[in-house]
Amino acid sequence: MKKTEKAFIELLSSHINDTVNISDDNPDWDEIYTLSKDHNLSGMIYLAINKLNIKPDKELYVRLSQAYFHTIAVSVNRDAEYEKVKEIFFDNKIPYIQVKGIALAEYYPVKEVRTMGDVDLVIRLEDKEKVFKLFTDKGYKSKTGSREDWTYYNDIINLEMHTDLCPEQISASIDPTAYFKNIWEMTNDTDDCFKELKPEYHLIFLLIHLAKHIYGFGAGVRQIMDISILLKHFNNQINWGLIEKDLEKLNMTKFAKNIFYLCNDWFGTQFPFELEMDQDTYELICRYIFEGGVFGFKARNSVAEIKLRKEIDNNKGRYSKKAPIKAFLKLFVIDKQDLYASVPFTKRHPFLLPIGWVYRIFRGVFSGRKRERHKAYISGLSSKRQEAQSNYDIMKKIGL
């Protein structure tokens, strides 16, 4: 880990643990500011710096304070809108589970600086149509993401409504698709409508979600900190026997223990078992997280590399000449249920499925924005082989 990255982590740790701790008395404040923007943690860094005797120069300090107050304003407005969202659920007796940022923010010392792009909620599949009508009648715009989720949004809030938390296999060795099939039995008995996952299951979901992002474009510091915050909040209430058993079933023990090592090393999170990591793996994970930004998009934006890497993974780590061909075909060949989501008329009229396939291919090849994206994808299939192999090796070291 670089010197400035260490200072960045120390500032975040001082915020969530209510300490004053920075080992470098002359950090590179410009680089810390850049990291805070890349990982969407400027408000938290501002609060941590306010505890210190040392400060950045006035201009940079003003920029951090502006980022802080902007974060607060966005959060206050979103929370007010979210109260209206909850009223819709309560008034219509529709149960929902809140996960990720909207639930975890409550555990942070200052919840308003835990930034989030979406508010993630789980609803029952049988309530999906009812929810659609209620929210669109209230003026929310909507768009489909896949057959398992739908997004409702306005100028203030972006709601992701899920009916399945883990709809996809992560890697050749990790397939969590069946894990949350009985999700409503994994919640605390809190209210007829409002539900939260029991901490053990929320932790496992955060690990699965983190694994998905790391295996894809990448994940940021905030997702590691979320796991530390959850464990700090619930402390001795966690059933580690359940967690270890389920992680073993999911083939995620190695990955989870690597992440737990970071939680301990970065944020002082305590675990009831020994953790260790060799220096090479530690540096690889740090590079992968710090260079990518909040969701990896800063350093990695090649869908072609990910698809090639998956083909290498499916072929037991060996690159095959067929890999680019298979990855190319997957640009157009998708699951029938996903076609329903992408081309809705095929669900209403199944006999039009062949036309739906042709329509989707035509739209993908000839529509302006997607045409450019697909050209970049096809080009990447021939130029990203080395990067795909390198990142595959990193995934194996991490435990994916």
Residue the block writes with tokens 């992680």: 247
Edge to edge, what strands does the sheet with 141-146 contain?
141-146, 149-153, 158-162, 119-122, 96-99, 194-196
pLDDT of residue 259 exceeding 90, the answer is: yes
Which H/E stretch holds residue 382? helix 368-383
pLDDT of residue 147 exceeding 60, the answer is: no
Q: What pLDDT, in 10s, does the model give residues 168-178? A: 888 888 999 99
Which domains, ranges and CATH numbers included, belong to the chain? 1-56 (no CATH), 81-292 (3.30.460.40), 303-398 (no CATH)
Q: Which of 152, 189, 150 is nearest to 167 (CA)?
A: 150
The Cα–Cα gap between 32 and 104 comes to 24
The Cα–Cα gap between 307 and 327 comes to 6
pLDDT of the residue at 301: 54
pLDDT of the residue at 296: 55
pLDDT of the residue at 110: 96
Q: Which of 16, 18, 21, 48 is nearest to 35 (CA)?
A: 48
DSSP three-state, residue 53: coil
* CB 251 within 8 Å of CB 174: yes
* Inter-helix orientation angle 42-49/29-38, to 10°: 140
Q: What pLDDT, in 10s, does the model give residues 45-75? A: 999 999 988 889 999 999 999 999 999 999 9
pLDDT of residue 39 exceeding 90, the answer is: yes
* pTM, to two decimals: 0.87
Lowest mean pLDDT among 44-58, 92-106, 201-215, 332-346: 332-346
pLDDT bucket at 376, cuts 50 / 70 / 90:
low
pLDDT of the residue at 288: 86
pLDDT bucket at 17, cuts 50 / 70 / 90:
very high
